[in-house]
A and B are shown apart, each in its own frame.
Chain A
Amino acid sequence: MTAAYSIYFFITLLKIPFIPATLLAMLLSMALGMLIERLAYRRLRAASRLSALITAIAVSLFLQTGYATLFSPDPRAFPVTAASFPVFHLGEVSLSSWTLITIAVAIAVMILLQLFVTRHKAGKAMLVVSEDVKGAYLMGIKVNSIISMTFAIGSALAAIAAALFIVSYPQITPYMGAMPGIKAFIAAVLGGIGLIPGAMLGGFLLGLIETMTRAYIPSSLSQLSEGVVFIVLILVLLLKPAGLLGKSEREKV
């Protein structure tokens, strides 16, 4: 949401074109993410899951109402839409090039991230920190920097996602991030928490399922399409408790 607003203002007020605006928004997001981590989450590293969850919810509430107060809660129309991109016609099917761009960007980003996490030293350090913070300290890993970096990367990716999102759904409101946020979490869990290919798989699956349901379900039951995502999640977790790609680790007794 914050990235969406940033891009919006860069384009409309500063007349910066779309792609540079997105890059600038990424930088802003990274800064915001690192700031939030420093202020709100760092102290809670040793705290319980629940405390961190509530803090995160409070932060998102703060951002949403903050933006609503500052920039008015009225929806704004985003000037760049999918229509601005050329449309291909393959026989009877018309395909917007924006759709292709979205998919391509998503896949590229995921591949880059996976390579980063498995090949690059900092990426591997990130995995280590998530496994065992104390051990990471003992190995000389600068844990604070790595965690800040993680938030920076996450926020930058969120900015990219925002850019992709608002072109397809060109309406910006302060609360636009809530539902996508929940669905993102569901997608991550669906694919297996902690696995990047899992998140990618989960995201694509969820998107497909939701769109298909909405397309093919009779309008009398249209409400149900909203619930489909959640039903799928529960069914998948029942069959594969650690997510689609997750390996369920039995705790060694």
Chain B
Amino acid sequence: MTKSKIVSYSINLAAALAVYLVFHFLFSSRIVSRTLIDLFTLCCVFATAAVSLNLSTGLLGELNLGHAGFMSVGAYTAALITLAAGRSGNVGILLLSLLAGGLTATLSALVIGIPVLRLRGDYLAITTLAFGEIVKVLMRSMKITGGGQPLTGIALDTTYTIGYWVLIITLIAIYTLIRSRHGRAIISIREDDIAAEACGVSVTKYKLFAFAFSAFFAGIAGGLYAHYAGVLEPSFFDYNQSVNFMVMVVFGGIGSLTGSVLSAFFLTLLPEFLRGIDAYRTLIYSVILILLMHYRPSGLLGQRELSQRGIARIFRRERLDAQPISGVGGGRAIERENIPASGSAERKADSALRDRTGASSGTPEEPLERRMKGRR
């Protein structure tokens, strides 16, 4: 590790700690209402789910419409463990149950992934949707999970501290994964899985891994949710919830982990701010979505991350466009959308976009577009 890396990492860690301390003082000083504290915790939980979804949908490039199913598995596993253990307020048992939740979610991802990940595009998307619904039905019909009735009495053990730090750990884990050779392999699959295979990437292995890794954190998020809400209903983790997380990922920027965090917070808080106009909340939300897709399809941060370099640029008042910040392959040359590459329909859309914006593989001597600084 070079010295500059150590410095850089320390700054990031210090920043995470600083943010935490700010919230900690705010929350423990009673200035802030209980509701807001709870909201913050929920935001952390959902942000964890969104970041994990970004791994399978944004970075691997596979449309996953059943993410809530993984959360559900994790949630029920964790809840059942702490219910069996009987004691509440025990952080150790909570963490253990979260781990168990993550592991069962990973297991279910492997079970569904091994047969299903060779499907492409639309077909894979619909099977993930089907998976989510099957999980919902299973949870509703098994006696151990309440048999159609909500599972109640779960210890309310998720504090903002636990929520925050789990989120940070998730972010770090996925971020470091992506900036390693394995992460490059995963992204290359999104870009062109046939070429990736031809470069020595075992597409099956990495798809399965990314899928399972993403499910692991989703399971943990589910466990966190269970101990946040105290009550679990199978219908909470349905297709609509999966879509909610998908929207968070797209809104924040596909491939941008910090973007997912920001958008998770924003989109979870938004209904609260719109509470005054309660009746029109969802209407406004849907209109915002449509406008977002039309005018900023790459989301808040595009492929970029909130990084030291980016913040430094803001202070130096350089045009953000001129020097795109990195993500992996980050930065924004032309309005290049991140397009999941599996399935021929995506490739057609990709080539249509490239043709429309004038960059095409068939044109020789294309004038060079902007420079991009890679960040390792």
Contacts and interface: CB of A to CB of B under 8 A. Distances in A.
Classify A-B as touching or not with yes or no (CB < 8 A): yes
Interface residues of A, number: 46
Contact of A234 (B57, B130, B254): B130
B194 A251 contact: yes
A189 interface: yes
A227 B339 contact: no
B352 interface: yes
B286 A61 contact: yes
A242 B127 contact: no
Contacts of B254: 50
A165 to B, nearest CB: 20
A242 B123 contact: yes
A48 B141 contact: no
A58 B286 contact: yes
| Interface class of chain B by DSSP | helix
| Chain B interface residue number, banded | 35 or more
B116 A237 contact: yes
Interface string B225-259: 00000000000000100010011001000100000
A45 B353 CA distance: 9
Contacts of A43: 294
B140 A51 contact: no
Contacts of A231: 130, 134
A19 interface: no
Contacts of B337: 47-48, 51
A49 B345 contact: yes
Contacts of B283: 62, 65-66, 69
A54 B247 contact: yes
Interface in B332-375: 337-340, 343-346, 348-350, 352-353, 355-356
B285 interface: yes
B246 A54 contact: yes
Nearest to B297: A51
Nearest to B247: A54
A226 B243 CA distance: 20
B13 interface: no
A59 interface: yes
Contacts of B173: none
A55 B344 CA distance: 21
A89 B82 CA distance: 58
A233 B127 contact: yes
Given A48-B339, A226-B137, A189 B293 contact: no
B352 A49 contact: no
A182 interface: yes
Given A47-B297, A51-B337, A182-B239, A234 B116 contact: yes
A128 interface: no
Interface of B: 57, 63, 112, 115-116, 118-123, 126-127, 129-131, 133-134, 136-138, 140-141, 148, 194, 239, 243, 246-247, 250, 254, 279-280, 282-283, 285-287, 289-290, 293-294, 297, 337-340, 343-346, 348-350, 352-353, 355-356
9 contacts: A46-B356, A49-B345, A50-B340, A54-B250, A55-B290, A61-B286, A237-B123, A241-B120, A243-B123
Given A43-B294, A46-B356, A48-B340, 9 more contacts: A46-B352, A48-B349, A49-B345, A51-B293, A54-B243, A69-B280, A133-B352, A231-B130, A237-B119
Interface of A: 40, 43-51, 53-55, 57-59, 61-62, 65-66, 69, 132-134, 182, 185-186, 189, 193, 221, 223-224, 226-227, 230-231, 233-234, 237-238, 241-243, 249, 251, 253
